[in-house]
Structure 1
Amino acid sequence: MKEIKVYRLTILFLLFVIFLQWVFMAGRSKEKEGLRPLRKQPSAVFKGRIAIVIDDWAYNLNNIEMLDRIHVPLTCSVLPNLNYSQAAIEELHSRNLETILHLPLEPHEKYRLEKDTVMVSMDESEIKNIVERDLDSLKVIKGVSNHMGSLATEDVKTMDVIFSVLKKRNLYFLDSVVTSRSVCQGLAKKWGLRFAKRDVFLDNLEDPVYIKGQISKLKIKARRSGQAIGVGHDRRLTLEVLAEVIPELKKEGYKFVFVSELVK
């Protein structure tokens, strides 16, 4: 009887040892699983570079804080000679955004012209004085774009004088392309001036569906050409849509840059 009792105790002890080994091995297995390196998510294939320009800053400062929701480089064009011109430059510069002069030029349709708009009837000294005064008033700028200017950007004499000033100051010119007869690209080549032109207007209609459609066109241009420039305006809706869609564009592989990185 005593032998049977010892035998049973031995069996129970062996079963207990086997149970402990099983628990130990299971724990080691889970530990190893925990140490397995996580699979890296494949990074998006680079699709192209996009520069976004926001025109017409300085009428007010109502939308400045909206820029804090857009976490990519932006180029902002500032109008001269307005009550908020200097304040706008300072706010934009403090956010490390690229600023350019939005130079008022004569359009075919003479409506709501800004103060000191460059007119094709002006002589060389008048044009130079306006451009240099506007540049001096804003200071921290990298380039110049045209505000309106459907007539002036068709006029070789006018643009030749403007480009002579920009070349002297080592500034680039962004053609907003408000006319199909613009002479700016050819003249920029003649002056050896760094130059770029707008590819897509983003917000000719203040409608979110329309703006998103224009951004899709911008994506296609960037994918096909390697780069693209989209121009929108200082409007709350435009900035809201950009804040919404830009994170997705970055995930898709588009890189956002300043216009100064695309000029040639």
Structure 2
Amino acid sequence: MTDKQVLTIPGNITYAVLPQTPYGKRIAEAANRRNQDVILHIPMESSQGKKLGPGALTADMSEAAIKASLNESLQEIPFAVGINNHMGSHLTTLAKPMLWTMKFLKERELLFLDSVTSSKTLGRTIADRMGVPAMSRHVFLDNQLSHQYIEGQFKQLISKAKRQQTAIAIAHPHPETVAALTKLIPQLKQHNIDLVPLSALYQKPSFSEPLTASTE
């Protein structure tokens, strides 16, 4: 998929980009020029031992190493408003790495979005204790790449937004996802739901549905 295709998704979506990657940086800079929110999609250690890539955080890293890695990623995309976890089904369940991560975010006044890749995640809990603005993902839109599946997940998202006042979705930049969302997002107006930047939810409650498009 080209950068241009990802950027054609309509509305105020938030772009979550993998750190220290040329593709992620190009997407981030293009989104920033359009005044759209960008967050860092930080790879975190998985319970399945999946390959992590640049800028990854692992359980064997010290506090200094975690902060140095996060700082390097942020220096590349200094306009990022926060981070969320890419994978992380193991790391997000560990108190110390999450505490060190939240300390970094607190010092830089950045937000945290928990992708909730584990039901045992401590990310949101520790962020709350540290005073880091934090929210959790409600729906993954494209675990399957058929239009029927994505449409079904999108309907769940609309229901959650109506019931909870806000709902957060994560999607990926697959061609099938871009095509589906291009058709589905305009339907939000029929439900009186606004698509807003992720950071808007951390400022004040609103009847809205943010959508995070991840680059991985």
TM-score (norm 1): 0.74
Task: Give unpaired runs (5+ residues) of structure 1.
Answer: 1-60
Residue 145 of structure 2 aligns to a residue in which SS? coil
- Aligned equivalent of 2:78: 139
Deviations 1:66-87 (A, max 9, x none): 53351x1000101012132322
1:256 alignment partner, SS class: coil
Q: Deviations over 1:216-244 (max 9, x none)?
A: 00011111111100110011211111110
Distance 1:257 1:110 in 2: 34
State the partner residue of 1:113: 52
**Is the contact made by 1:173 and 1:193 (CA closer than 8 Å) also made in structure 2?**
yes
Q: TM-score under structure 2 normalisation?
A: 0.89
> Given the alignment of the two structures, is residue 196 of structure 1 paired with residue 146 of structure 2, yes or no?
no
Gapped runs of 5+ residues in structure 2?
A: 204-216
Cα displacement (A) at 1:248: 1.7
Question: What one-letter code is carried by the residue in structure 1 that aligns with 2:191?
Answer: E
2: CA distance, partners of 1:240 / 1:131: 33
Structure with bigger gyration radius: 1
Q: Which amino acid in the other structure matches residue 183 of structure 2?
A: E
Q: 1:88 to 1:232 in 2, by over 3 A?
A: same
CA distance in 2 between counterparts of 1:199 and 1:208 reads 19
Distance in 1, Cα, partners of 2:202 & 2:145: 28
Within-5 A mapping of 1:6-21: none
Q: How does 1:29-178 map to 2 (within 5 A)?
A: 62-70=2-10, 72-178=11-117
Give the distance between the partners of 2:87 and 2:12, measured in 1 at CA: 24
The structure that is helix-richer by fraction is 1
User: SS of 1:182's equivalent?
Assistant: coil
Query: Does the residue aligned with 1:115 lie in a helix, a strand or coil?
Result: coil
Give the alignment's Cα RMSD to 1 decimal. 1.4
The letter of the residue matching 2:90 is L
Q: Identical aligned pairs, as a percentage?
A: 33
Give the residue type in structure 2 aligned to 1:256: L
> How many residues of Structure 1 are paired with residues of Structure 2 in the alignment?
203
